[in-house]
Chains A and B, each alone.
Chain A
Amino acid sequence: MKRFMAVLVLVGLVMVAPPVSFAGQMNTGCGVGTMIMKGHDGLLFQVLAVTTNGILGNQTFGITTGTVDCKKATSFAMNERLNTYVAQNMDNLANDIAKGQGEYLNTLAVLMEVPEAGRSTFYAKLQNNFGAIYTSSTVTSVDVLNNIETLL
Chain B
Amino acid sequence: MFLSSIATGIPCAFGQDSAYLDELQGRAHEQRLHEDPYWQILMHYKKCFHGYTSLIDDPAFFLAPDGKTNPEAELKATLKAFFEEPPEGKQTAVCRFAARYEWLRERLHIDPSRIAQADCASFEEFMQQMQPESVVLVFPMAHLNGPASMFGHTLLTIETANKSNLLAYAVTYSAFANETFGPFFAVKGLTGLYPGYFSIMPYYAKLQEYSDIDHRDIWEYPLNLTKPEIRRMMLHIRELDHIASDYYFFDENCSYALYFLLEAARPGVHLTDSTHGWLIPLDSVRAIDRQGFIKGVAYRPSRTTKIKYLASGLTDTEQDAAMGLAQGTISVVVRDDPSSPGVAKVKTVDLAVEYLQYLYTKGLIPQATYQERFIRTLKLRSQLGTIADDAMEKIPPPVRPDKGHLSNRLALGVGIKGDDTYVEARIRPVYHGLMDNDDGYVKGAQLIFTDLALRWYPQDHKGSLQSLDIIDIVSLAPRDKFFHPVSWKITTGLRRISDEEEQDHLIYQINPGGGMTFSTSHFGLVYAMMETGLNVSGALEHGYALGAGGSAGMLVTPVPRWKTHLYARDLYYGLGDTFNAFEACLQQSFTINPNQSVGLDISRRKTRGFYETEAKLAWNLFF
Residue of chain A at shortest CB distance from B492: A12
Cα distance, A26 to B194, chains bound together (Å): 15
B386→A31 contact, CB < 8 A: no
Task: Answer whether residue B226 sits at the interface, using C-beta atoms and an 8 A cutoff.
Answer: no
Partner of A22, one of B122, B167, B386, B490: B490
Those of A9-41 within 8 Å (CB) of chain B: 9-37, 40
Within 8 Å CB of A13, what residues of B?
183, 186-187, 190, 471
Those of B150-191 within 8 Å (CB) of chain A: 150-154, 162-167, 169, 172, 174-178, 180, 182-183, 185-191
Task: Answer whether residue B201 sits at the interface, using C-beta atoms and an 8 A cutoff.
Answer: yes
A137→B375 contact, CB < 8 A: yes
Please give the distance in Å from B92's CB to the nearest CB on chain A: 15
- Tally of chain A residues near chain B (CB < 8 A): 77
A23→B182 contact, CB < 8 A: yes
B164→A107 contact, CB < 8 A: yes
Within 8 Å CB of A131, what residues of B?
379, 382
Task: Answer whether residue B612 sits at the interface, using C-beta atoms and an 8 A cutoff.
Answer: no
Task: Answer whether residue B299 sits at the interface, using C-beta atoms and an 8 A cutoff.
Answer: no
Task: Tell whether A14 pairs with B187 under 8 Å between CB atoms, given A9-B471, A30-B249.
Answer: yes
Within 8 Å CB of A2, what residues of B?
248, 250-251, 277-278
Instruction: List 16 interface pairs A-B (beta carbons < 8 Å), by A numbering.
Output: A6-B248, A19-B514, A30-B281, A34-B172, A40-B197, A40-B242, A43-B242, A44-B241, A47-B129, A47-B200, A88-B202, A102-B390, A103-B392, A107-B166, A107-B204, A110-B163
Task: Answer whether residue B493 sits at the interface, using C-beta atoms and an 8 A cutoff.
Answer: yes
Please give the distance in Å from B173's CB to the nearest CB on chain A: 8
Main secondary structure of the interface of A (DSSP, over half): helix
Please give the distance in Å from A120's CB to the nearest CB on chain B: 9
Task: Answer whether residue A118 sits at the interface, using C-beta atoms and an 8 A cutoff.
Answer: no
Partner of B152, one of A12, A23, A30, A128: A30
Cα distance, A15 to B494, chains bound together (Å): 13
Cα distance, A54 to B602, chains bound together (Å): 63
Residue of chain A at shortest CB distance from B276: A1
Please give the distance in Å from B46's CB to the nearest CB on chain A: 13
Within 8 Å CB of A51, what residues of B?
129
Task: Answer whether residue B331 sits at the interface, using C-beta atoms and an 8 A cutoff.
Answer: no
A30→B488 contact, CB < 8 A: no
Within 8 Å CB of B372, what residues of A?
137
Beyond the given A63-B213, A106-B164, could you list 5 further A-B residue pairs with CB under 8 A, ordered by the A residue number?
A20-B514, A30-B253, A61-B367, A62-B370, A99-B390
Please give the distance in Å from A43's CB to the nearest CB on chain B: 4
- Give the size category of B's interface with A: 35 or more
Interface string of B198-218 (1 = CB under 8 A from A): 111110110010001110100
Cα distance, A12 to B148, chains bound together (Å): 13
Interface string of A118-136 (1 = CB under 8 A from B): 0000000001101100101
B153→A26 contact, CB < 8 A: no
Partner of A101, one of B164, B201, B237, B386: B386
B213→A101 contact, CB < 8 A: no
Task: Answer whether residue A66 sits at the interface, using C-beta atoms and an 8 A cutoff.
Answer: no
Cα distance, A91 to B152, chains bound together (Å): 27
A16→B492 contact, CB < 8 A: yes
Task: Answer whether residue B371 sits at the interface, using C-beta atoms and an 8 A cutoff.
Answer: yes
Within 8 Å CB of B240, what residues of A?
43
B153→A15 contact, CB < 8 A: no
Please give the distance in Å from A84's CB to the nearest CB on chain B: 8
Of the candidate stretches B353-361, B454-462, B552-560, the one touching chain A is B353-361
Within 8 Å CB of B237, what residues of A?
43
Cα distance, A150 to B416, chains bound together (Å): 80
Task: Answer whether residue A42 sits at the interface, using C-beta atoms and an 8 A cutoff.
Answer: yes
Task: Answer whether residue B73 sits at the interface, using C-beta atoms and an 8 A cutoff.
Answer: no
Task: Tell whether A12 pairs with B471 under 8 Å between CB atoms, given A32-B175, A60-B371, A98-B379.
Answer: yes
Cα distance, A17 to B490, chains bound together (Å): 10
A34→B182 contact, CB < 8 A: no
Cα distance, A34 to B258, chains bound together (Å): 14
Residue of chain A at shortest CB distance from B349: A98
Interface string of B58-97 (1 = CB under 8 A from A): 0000000000000000000000000000000000000000
Task: Answer whether residue A74 sits at the interface, using C-beta atoms and an 8 A cutoff.
Answer: no
Within 8 Å CB of A104, what residues of B?
166
A50→B202 contact, CB < 8 A: yes
B390→A19 contact, CB < 8 A: no
A22→B148 contact, CB < 8 A: yes
Please give the distance in Å from B141's CB to the nearest CB on chain A: 11
Within 8 Å CB of B122, what residues of A?
44
Q: Which has the most chain B C-beta neighbours within 10 Å: A4, A25, A138?
A: A25
Interface string of B377-393 (1 = CB under 8 A from A): 01101100110001010
B177→A35 contact, CB < 8 A: yes
Cα distance, A106 to B278, chains bound together (Å): 41
Within 8 Å CB of A130, what residues of B?
378-379, 382
Task: Answer whether residue A117 sits at the interface, using C-beta atoms and an 8 A cutoff.
Answer: no
Residue of chain A at shortest CB distance from B210: A28
Task: Answer whether residue B45 sits at the interface, using C-beta atoms and an 8 A cutoff.
Answer: no
A31→B249 contact, CB < 8 A: yes
B278→A5 contact, CB < 8 A: yes
Partner of A97, one of B200, B254, B382: B382
Task: Tell whether A9 pairs with B488 under 8 Å between CB atoms, given A29-B150, A34-B153.
Answer: no
A24→B167 contact, CB < 8 A: no
A42→B371 contact, CB < 8 A: no
Task: Answer whether residue B410 sits at the interface, using C-beta atoms and an 8 A cutoff.
Answer: no
Task: Tell whether A88 pairs with B176 under 8 Å between CB atoms, given A47-B169, A60-B371.
Answer: no
Within 8 Å CB of B182, what residues of A?
18, 22-24, 26-27
